[in-house]
Amino acid sequence: MTGSLRKPLVAGNWKMNGTSASLDEARKIAEGAQDFADVVDVMVCPPATLIARLDLRCAGTDLLLGGQDCHAEPAGAHTGDVSADMLVDAGASAVILGHSERRIDHKESSQSVADKVAAAHRVGLTAIVCVGETEIERKSGQANNVVGEQVRLSLPSTTTGQNVVIAYEPVWAIGTGMTPTTTDISEMHGVIRAMLADRFGEAAAAAMRILYGGSVKPANAAQLLRIDNVDGALVGGASLKAQDFLAILGIYGTRSVETVSVGA
């Protein structure tokens, strides 16, 4: 199966950026993305403080909203945390989980990520589960094993082809301007899909979207997102400016161009 049979998803991860001054930018993204609504799902994951306001500001458009993390418990004495249910209440349909910045800053294990994914599923949120190797792991030839293990341990038994999206984000490519070769991305996405098929069956693996993330920009989007088995992108820095984010979506305006198969 080629990536073209799964509707691509391009999600912007705003990380810890954005205040009420960003609402106009979000509206520009939402309006511009309407041109591509038939061929690509478009999502913005703002800080939790902005989800409800973006939901109001972008009303009447197809823009999807996501959170950036949630607690594994539905409610209770967890100062500073946000539950999956609260994200739904604010207008989100998805949540990013296991981003490498959380795995590093908050020492999140794959097991704790799996617990959060299960919490997201209990309230009907799609989990965008991030995996990726460090530079040392890639240089020492361990990338496939590390990422395969992250995928295996970060997904609970509630996972289906529809309620999880995988985002392959090599840690060394995030915010650095560096990206893996198209061959390396294709190979890794193949490894991930094989692992998914093994655990959840061929049908679920074939339906699940696997995004690439890490220094996706307008200048490299066409090359990165047309790789066979790449079903869209998780975009950091370039999702903060409507002009850049819409330029990345622009590659789907020429979707008739065949996806590129690269030898693994």
**Residues 195-214 close enough to bind ligand 13P by CB under 6 A:** 213-214
- By CB under 6 A, tell whether 161 contacts ligand 13P: no
Site for ligand 13P (CB under 6 A): which residue of 236, 242, 246, 251?
A: 236
- By CB under 6 A, tell whether 46 contacts ligand 13P: no
DSSP string, 59-110: TTS--EEEES--BSSSSSS-TT--BHHHHHHHT-SEEEES-HHHHHHT---H
* Class of residue 251 by CB neighbours under 10 A (exposed 0-12, middle 13-18, buried 19+): buried
- By CB under 6 A, tell whether 169 contacts ligand 13P: yes
DSSP string, 121-156: HHTTPEEEEEE---HHHHHTT-HHHHHHHHHHHH--
Instruction: Point out the catalytic residue in the list 108, 169, 187, 189.
Output: 169
**Residues 51-110 close enough to bind ligand 13P by CB under 6 A:** 99
- Chain residue at closest Cβ approach to ligand 13P: 236
71 in catalytic set:
no
Instruction: Point out the catalytic residue in the list 25, 71, 99, 187.
Output: 99
- By CB under 6 A, tell whether 13 contacts ligand 13P: yes
99 in catalytic set:
yes
**Neighbouring residues of 134: CB distance < 8 A, sequence distance ≥ 6:** 146, 171, 172
- By CB under 6 A, tell whether 237 contacts ligand 13P: yes
Exposure string over 119-132, b if 16+ CB within 10 A, otherwise e: bbbebebbbbbbbb
Exposure string over 216-229, b if 16+ CB within 10 A, otherwise e: bebeebeebbbbbb
- By CB under 6 A, tell whether 3 contacts ligand 13P: no
Count of residues that bind ligand 13P according to CB under 6 A: 14
Site for ligand 13P (CB under 6 A): which residue of 235, 242, 246, 248?
A: 235
Q: Which is nearer to ligand 13P, 90 or 129 (CB)?
A: 129
Binding site residues, ligand 13P, CB under 6 A: 13, 99, 169, 174-175, 213-216, 234-238
Positions annotated as catalytic residues are 99, 169
